[in-house]
C-alpha cells in the first residue's frame, strides 16, 4: 500500500507525501544493499511475477534483485515464450498467472494503460514497469531518489529533461513527480518531439535550444532516442540530433554549472544523446541510478506486498 494506492500504475495520482514515503523507505533499503549479506526476510513467502511484454535488461533485473533481497520469490515471464504467441489476450494471461497466487504482478507492455487494465481484473497488487508512452513510475521515483541523494533536495532545483519527450514514459513520470517535490522542469528537444501544450501539465517550461535549457540547471536528464518506438522519422538524422541536442564534453564544460549532474534512463545511444566522455564522466550519475533503482523497487514491493494502513498501528506495536 503506497499511501492510498493498492497498485503503482503511475506517478500522476501520487501526492508529494506518497512519493516521499517511497523515497524515505528506499533510503533504508539502500543500506541493506550495502551489507555483506544482502538479504532480509521481510517478504519471505511472497511471490512476485515479472510479466515483460517488451525487452528489458535493467528494469526486469532490478525488480528481480529487489524481490530476492527481500526474500520474495521472483518468477520472470516473457511474452515471446508464452501463450501470447498463440493468441492469448492480456487479460487472460494475467488471470491465468493470478490463479497461481502471486502477491505482485510487475508488468511492462508496449500499450499505454495495459497495467491499469490488468489491475481491474486481478486481486493482487500491480506495478507498471513501463507502459507505452504513458508512464514508468519506478524510473521516475529512482530519478527523484538519485537527485535527492546528489542535490540534497529537489526543492527549488531546476531539472532539464532533454530529448524525445513525446515517446518517453520516463519523462512523463519525471514530469509528474519532480514538480511535486519542488523542482522546476525544463523540457527540451526538437519541436517534433515535444507534445504541443505539455506545459499545461504545470511545473515545466518548453525549450528547443539545448544551451538555453541546460544553462543554470542543477540536473540534466538525457532521454534515449527510441528508434523502436518511432514510426515516422521525427528528426532528419541522428548526426544532426547529436549536434543540436546531444551533450558532449565541450558543451558540458561550457554550459553546465559545476555541480550539475547528468542522468539517463538507459540504455544509452553513445555518441547520440551523450558522448562517451560525458556518459562516463564525473557528472554522470547513471550507474547510481541503476543501483538506486534496486533500492526504490525494494521499497515499492515492500509497501505493496505488505498490509493495509488501517492495521499499521496495531501491527506496529513494539514488543
Partner 1 sequence: MDSEAIGRALSRLAREIAERSRNGGADLAIVGIRRGGVHLARRLRGELTRLLGQEPPLGTLDIALYRDDLSRGGAAPVVGPTDIQFKVEGRDILLVDDVLYTGRTIRAALDEIVDFGRPRRVWLAVLVDRGGRELPIAADFAGETVAVAPGDDVEVRLVEGGAAADEVVVKPRGTP
Should residue 241 be labelled a site residue for partner 1 when binding is judged by CB under 8 A? Answer: no
Should residue 42 be labelled a site residue for partner 1 when binding is judged by CB under 8 A? Answer: yes
Nearer to partner 1, 25 or 194 (CB): 25
Exactly one of 53, 241, 245, 302 binds partner 1 (CB under 8 A); which one?
302
Exactly one of 20, 27, 230, 244 binds partner 1 (CB under 8 A); which one?
27
Should residue 312 be labelled a site residue for partner 1 when binding is judged by CB under 8 A? Answer: yes
Nearer to partner 1, 29 or 97 (CB): 29
Write out the three cell numbers for 9.
500504475
CB atoms within 10 A of CB 175: 24
- Strand order of the β-sheet with 125-131 is 73-78, 47-52, 104-109, 125-131
Please tell me the distance from the alpha carbon of residue 70 to that of residue 159, in angstroms, as a whole number.
Answer: 32
Write out the three cell numbers for 264.
539517463
Q: Pairing mode, if any, of strands 125-131 and 204-207?
A: unpaired
* Least spacing, CB of residue 194 vs partner 1, in Å: 38
Which residues in 116-135 contact partner 1 (CB under 8 A)? none
What are the start-end ranges of the H helices in the chain? 16-33, 58-69, 90-98, 114-119, 137-151, 169-177, 210-214, 238-245, 249-255, 276-279, 286-305, 312-315
Which residues in 43-82 contact partner 1 (CB under 8 A)? 43-46, 70
Stretch that binds partner 1, among 10-18, 23-31, 243-251, 282-290 (CB under 8 A): 23-31
The answer to whether 93 is a known ligand-binding residue is no
Exactly one of 4, 13, 16, 39 binds partner 1 (CB under 8 A); which one?
39
Question: Are 311 and 9 within 8 A, CB to CB?
Answer: no
Rg of the chain (C-alpha set): 20
Exactly one of 31, 228, 232, 254 binds partner 1 (CB under 8 A); which one?
31
The verdict on whether omega for the bond into residue 117 sits within 30 degrees of 0, i.e. cis, is no
The answer to whether 200 is a known ligand-binding residue is no
Question: Are 118 and 126 within 8 A, CB to CB?
Answer: yes
Stretch that binds partner 1, among 124-132, 237-245, 258-266, 310-318 (CB under 8 A): 310-318
Q: State the residues that interact with partner 1 by CB under 8 A.
A: 1, 25, 27-29, 31-32, 35-37, 39-46, 70, 302-303, 306-309, 311-312, 314-316, 318-319
Enumerate the known binding-site residues for carbamoyl phosphate.
Answer: 58-59, 108, 136, 139, 266-267
Amino acid at each position: 500500500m503506497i499511501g492510498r494506492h493498492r497498485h503503482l500504475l503511475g506517478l500522476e495520482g501520487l501526492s508529494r507525501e506518497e512519493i516521499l514515503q517511497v523515497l524515505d523507505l528506499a533510503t533504508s533499503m539502500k543500506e541493506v544493499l550495502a551489507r555483506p549479506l544482502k538479504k532480509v526476510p521481510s517478504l519471505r513467502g511472497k511471490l512476485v511475477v515479472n510479466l515483460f511484454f517488451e525487452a528489458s535488461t535493467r528494469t526486469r533485473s532490478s525488480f528481480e534483485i529487489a524481490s530476492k533481497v527481500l526474500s520474495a520469490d521472483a518468477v520472470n515471464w516473457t511474452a515471446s515464450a508464452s501463450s501470447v504467441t498463440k493468441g492469448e489476450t492480456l487479460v487472460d494471461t494475467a488471470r491465468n498467472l493470478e490463479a497461481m497466487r502471486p502477491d505482485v504482478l510487475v508488468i511492462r507492455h508496449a500499450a499505454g494503460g495495459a497495467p491499469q487494465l490488468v489491475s481491474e481484473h486481478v486481486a493482487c497488487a500491480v506495478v507498471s514497469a513501463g507502459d507505452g508512452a504513458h508512464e514508468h513510475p519506478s524510473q521516475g521515483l529512482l530519478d527523484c531518489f538519485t537527485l535527492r541523494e546528489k542535490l540534497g533536495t529537489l526543492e527549488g532545483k531546476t531539472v532539464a529533461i532533454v530529448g524525445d519527450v513525446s515517446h518517453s514514459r520516463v519523462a512523463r513520470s519525471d514530469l509528474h513527480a519532480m514538480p511535486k517535490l519542488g523542482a522546476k522542469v525544463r523540457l527540451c528537444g526538437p519541436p517534433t518531439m515535444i507534445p504541443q501544450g505539455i506545459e499545461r501539465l504545470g511545473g515545466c517550461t518548453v525549450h528547443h535550444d539545448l544551451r538555453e535549457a541546460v544553462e543554470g540547471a542543477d540536473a540534466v536528464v538525457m532521454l534515449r532516442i527510441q528508434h523502436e518506438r518511432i514510426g515516422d522519422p521525427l528528426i532528419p538524422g541522428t548526426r544532426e540530433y547529436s549536434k543540436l541536442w546531444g551533450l558532449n564534453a565541450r558543451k558540458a564544460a561550457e554550459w553546465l554549472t559545476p555541480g550539475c549532474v547528468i542522468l539517463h534512463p538507459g540504455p544509452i545511444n553513445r555518441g547520440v544523446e551523450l558522448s562517451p566522455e560525458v556518459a562516463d564522466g564525473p557528472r554522470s550519475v547513471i550507474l547510481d541510478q541503476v543501483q538506486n533503482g534496486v533500492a526504490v523497487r525494494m521499497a515499492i514491493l515492500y509497501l505493496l506486498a505488505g498490509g493495509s494502513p488501517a492495521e499499521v498501528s496495531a501491527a506496529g506495536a513494539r514488543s
